[in-house]
Chain A
């Protein structure tokens, strides 16, 4: 293995007095944690057939991660269990360490997007109950996400309605790689229920669509990671051109862990395509970028890092400084450190990205 020199870096104590972290991954110690909220039928199903994503590996992921469980090597709890499964360690490494004001939980790998959508709905329900019992009811700085079995629009609607009005839930959570582009009508019950409940729809990268990346299956994890931005671009194009933003003007969509540098160029591309093919999408009366600047938000991590910092400022200006929200992705290996990741000279801008924008999106009323 390569030798790495580890240097202590002082945490930057500047304008980021308040931080909202839009992407924290809590983990079950084992799927047994969900058992209290699963029927015998689905518990037995889980024991017999296991989780079955739209890929072939029974255990783990198709592309081996950068580190075990894709996690920081220092994030494994001494008490056992996987990174993200221990509230005390999460407080020590994240919430207390950086003075996080509020953190949004995005649980992964508990059956959301399973090939069996009915089983997935049961697992999502159990995961939502677990988030309350194991996290939000124990730690007031944390908010949960409403996981839904997104391939089944009506089941998703039912789960969102069940959580509507519960202040422990900050958003509805989808994964980006769905069976069909997320703008399609089968997913509209999700948007309808979310807007009725006053909840933003967070779309976290990953999930397994079952389809190849544009142009064929990647070989490497570095390709898969890079491609999340491209998947997110397809999701945005679909939401725009299917008319989702137009049909649900109160809908707020948050793209999580897709980065954000690409969003300006995508808006320009969609505007040009829209201008040329307006006859194909008469249900989209405004230029795509108009919807994006009102109804779409992006989280920072993994933050793009151009060699020339001013280029990032250009992009922030083009996207709109009110569109971008900070996220760490704790406890994953590509964690963005709140003290260093956003070295912006403009303290007011930094405060917007670290705190104010997320407060506006996730704050109620």
Chain B
């Protein structure tokens, strides 16, 4: 498969904030002073330790070991190399980890303005997600309202593990704002570390932390379904970014079985979970947790029982694949076409305006 010919839409790339200094111009005087006076060196998260192998592919790192910190690198390594038509920037700076909601608001604004000025302005192939200070849902709504008029923002970005499960009513105004503006909610791997990443406490290794992100996605999906978010917002799409994907079928079998047995507890969930998910949930395809076996991959994809759910993504610069092997072997050609363009366009209304 020739990637340049396909002109794919990459739904998950990660421009990286190179240092706190990069954000200073986008903070107001108070917060700029605060950064200096209190010595806030960085908000980098342990979800992607800078030098961990997963965090950036070796050939995509610069001399200092960082990746995706400048537009030239993103153009040459990703956009031009893979012939990407459009790419959605999901900035993973640790805004969601901040405990002070006012500070989180200030940094969410700074990150979004930095993305708009330094990435979206010079590069017409880039789009971005709105980083929101979910620490205070009211602030999150404000940030959506502030950024939404810029049509290059195509999604609202939250993490797979936060303070409260995402289905809780406290967050519904955020979903109302997103739905109002035609913005899907993108849930990306990562944690605010308000709780351990597992339900059995803090693990020892980064390997466990990263593996556990799949459990975070399961929890959020359960919460969104059982609390009734999808019913309340029938036009809302939720995109699971960097979820691993292959846990989904068995998860839905399990939740579906319990739904049949326990729906009296959540009577507002009036459809089987797998139907809700097929209509309103999408998943980016890197990483796809599967063996390097085309036969197995094709059967896993059949277990999804939908050709509309998968979205093309490189997860650049995270090290998920080697060379040009962006997609695993075993995907049917017509599905690849859908994954590359049609599904992203169907998921993100704002991409249809320019694609």
Interface centre among A176, A213, A308, A333 (most CB of B within 10 A): A213
Q: Does A242 contact B (CB under 8 A)?
A: yes
Q: Does A279 contact B (CB under 8 A)?
A: yes
From B161, B200, B291, B299, A181 is in contact (CB under 8 Å) with B200
Q: Once the chains bind, are B208 and A181 in contact (CB under 8 Å)? A: yes
- How many Å lie between the Cα of A22 and that of B222 in the bound state? 28
Q: Once the chains bind, are B200 and A269 in contact (CB under 8 Å)? A: no
Q: Once the chains bind, are A220 and B226 in contact (CB under 8 Å)? A: yes
Query: Which of the candidate stretches A27-35, A76-84, A133-141, A270-278 sits at the interface with the other chain?
Result: A270-278
A window 308-340: CB within 8 A of B: 308, 311-312, 314-315, 318, 333-334
Q: Does A230 contact B (CB under 8 A)?
A: yes
* Cβ–Cβ < 8 Å partners of A219 in chain B: 165, 167-168, 223, 226-227
Q: Once the chains bind, are B305 and A308 in contact (CB under 8 Å)? A: yes
Q: Once the chains bind, are A218 and B223 in contact (CB under 8 Å)? A: yes
Q: Once the chains bind, are A223 and B254 in contact (CB under 8 Å)? A: no
Q: Does A221 contact B (CB under 8 A)?
A: yes
- How many Å lie between the Cα of A264 and that of B262 in the bound state? 26
Q: Once the chains bind, are A211 and B199 in contact (CB under 8 Å)? A: yes
B window 134-167: CB within 8 A of A: 160-167
Q: Does A342 contact B (CB under 8 A)?
A: no
* Cβ–Cβ < 8 Å partners of A231 in chain B: 198-200, 215
A268-B290, A269-B246, A308-B305 given; A241·B218 CB < 8 A: no
- How many Å lie between the Cα of A98 and that of B166 in the bound state? 44
Q: Once the chains bind, are A234 and B216 in contact (CB under 8 Å)? A: no
* Cβ–Cβ < 8 Å partners of A318 in chain B: 296
Q: Once the chains bind, are A234 and B212 in contact (CB under 8 Å)? A: yes
- 1/0 contact trace for A176-189 toward B, CB 8 Å? 11111111100000
From A180, A182, A268, A279, B291 is in contact (CB under 8 Å) with A268
* Cβ–Cβ < 8 Å partners of A176 in chain B: 200
Give the distance to chain A from B257, nearest Cβ to Cβ, in Å. Answer: 5
A-B pairs with beta carbons under 8 A, tally: 237
Q: Does A49 contact B (CB under 8 A)?
A: no
A269-B244, A269-B246 given; A222·B289 CB < 8 A: no
From A209, A220, A272, B266 is in contact (CB under 8 Å) with A220
Q: Once the chains bind, are A262 and B250 in contact (CB under 8 Å)? A: yes
* Cβ–Cβ < 8 Å partners of A241 in chain B: 203-205, 207-208, 211
The number of chain A residues touching the other chain, given as a range, is: 35 or more
Query: Which of the candidate stretches B116-124, B189-197, B343-351 sits at the interface with the other chain?
Result: B189-197
* Cβ–Cβ < 8 Å partners of B215 in chain A: 214, 230-231, 233-234
From B162, B207, B214, B265, A281 is in contact (CB under 8 Å) with B207
Give the distance to chain B from A276, nearest Cβ to Cβ, in Å. Answer: 5
Give the distance to chain A from B38, nearest Cβ to Cβ, in Å. Answer: 29
- How many Å lie between the Cα of A58 and that of B336 in the bound state? 55
- How many Å lie between the Cα of A211 and that of B194 in the bound state? 11
Q: Once the chains bind, are A268 and B246 in contact (CB under 8 Å)? A: yes
A window 251-286: CB within 8 A of B: 259, 261-262, 264-266, 268-274, 276-277, 279-281
- How many Å lie between the Cα of A85 and that of B53 in the bound state? 54
Question: Could you tell me which B residues sit within 8 Å of A by CB distance?
Answer: 52-54, 160-168, 191, 194-208, 210-212, 214-216, 218-220, 222-223, 226-227, 244, 246-247, 249-251, 253-259, 261-262, 264-266, 274, 287, 289-291, 296, 299, 302-303, 305, 319
- Jot down 19 A-B pairs with beta carbons below 8 A, ordered by A: A181-B203, A211-B200, A212-B196, A214-B160, A214-B199, A216-B162, A217-B165, A218-B219, A223-B219, A241-B204, A241-B205, A265-B246, A268-B246, A269-B247, A272-B287, A276-B54, A276-B319, A280-B205, A333-B261
Known: A214-B197, A271-B291. 8 other contacts (CB 8 A): A214-B160, A214-B215, A216-B219, A216-B223, A237-B203, A259-B250, A281-B207, A302-B258
What are the nearest 9 A-B pairs in CB distance?
A: A261-B250, A234-B198, A304-B253, A230-B215, A215-B161, A269-B289, A265-B246, A222-B262, A212-B195
